[in-house]
């Protein structure tokens, strides 16, 4: 579950201790051979490229170091070195703003193509918010290690081109609906609108909420020694 932390910005490595600054520099070395158009190792570092907002978003306690680089808003990657301890450390992501009620959406789809590590503990997920931040819809397309969704199981459903195990919970600030793909996928297309309509119309778990953000990224619990997460391409379309 990714928090609603307000972005803040500051200098990249100038404010980091020497050891962490070195780690950050080593982390960025894992970016592609061509020079990235943007990178940051700042806790709340963010920028907007091609209509998407990229956000480093190191929000959990006990986090290590993490750097994000981007060739564009839809071609980006993360190097993260978080200790092998419990609890979510970060959710680096790319965000597309929608700002339309569910009933007014003619379509809402997304395609993804990622490469994720074979070690560590993380999930690759969409994090979808209403504008009031009363509801959070998470779509896990893959996960690895000791991670799990918030809430209790609600059965399985096939929606938006995928089969999901569904969980419903509450974190004390908002309700969380989690859809975990029944098998891991590194590439695919998700038709998001039928999922929102199923939550609203079939289950009655929320009303005609205005969908604010569609985020896509990596919810990282541990990545000891430094691991790479790569988004080769991402599209969010509709409205």
Chain segment 192-223, per-residue pLDDT in tens? 999 999 999 999 999 999 999 999 999 999 99
State the DSSP string of 58-91.
Answer: --STT--EEEEEEEETTEEEEEEE--S-SS--B-
Place of tokens 């789809």: 109
Q: Is the pLDDT of residue 7 over 50?
A: no
195 Cβ contact partners less than 8 Å away, ≥ 6 residues apart: 137, 139, 159, 160, 179
Radius of gyration of the chain (CA): 17
Q: What is the model's pTM? A: 0.87
Partners of residue 170 on adjacent β-strands: 175
Confidence of residue 239 (pLDDT cuts 50, 70, 90): confident
CATH architecture of 18-238: Sandwich (2.60)
Taking Cα atoms as reference points, which of 77, 61, 161 lies closest to residue 113?
A: 77
Lowest-confidence segment of 27-36, 47-56, 136-145 by average pLDDT? 27-36
Half-sphere exposure of 85 (CA within 13 A, CB side): 11
The percent of residues in the chain predicted with pLDDT above 90, rounded, is 85
Q: How many beta carbons lie within 10 A of that of residue 192, not counting itself?
A: 24
Coil, helix or strand for 219?
A: strand
């Amino acid at each position: 579950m990714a928090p609603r932390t307000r972005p803040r910005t500051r200098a990249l490595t100038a404010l980091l201790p020497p050891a962490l600054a070195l780690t950050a520099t080593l982390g960025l070395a894992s970016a592609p051979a061509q020079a990235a158009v943007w990178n940051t190792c700042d806790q709340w570092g963010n920028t907007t490229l091609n209509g998407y907002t990229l956000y480093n978003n190191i929000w959990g306690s006990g986090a290590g170091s993490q750097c994000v680089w981007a060739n564009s808003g839809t071609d980006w990657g993360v190097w993260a070195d978080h200790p092998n301890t419990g609890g979510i450390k970060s959710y680096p992501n790319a965000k597309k703003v929608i700002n339309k009620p569910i009933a007014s959406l003619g379509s809402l789809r997304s395609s993804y193509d990622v490469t994720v590590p074979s070690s560590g503990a993380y999930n690759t997920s969409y994090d979808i918010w209403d504008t009031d931040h009363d509801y959070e819809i998470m779509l896990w397309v893959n996960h690895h290690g000791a991670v799990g969704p918030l809430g209790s199981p609600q059965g399985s459903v096939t929606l938006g081109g995928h089969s999901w195990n569904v969980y419903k919970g509450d974190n004390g600030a908002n309700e969380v609906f989690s859809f975990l793909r029944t098998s891991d996928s590194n590439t695919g297309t998700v038709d998001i609108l039928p999922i929102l309509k199923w939550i609203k119309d079939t289950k009655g778990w929320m009303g005609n909420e205005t969908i604010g953000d569609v985020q896509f990224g990596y919810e990282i619990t541990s990545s000891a020694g430094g691991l790479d997460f790569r988004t080769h391409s991402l599209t969010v379309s509709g409205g």
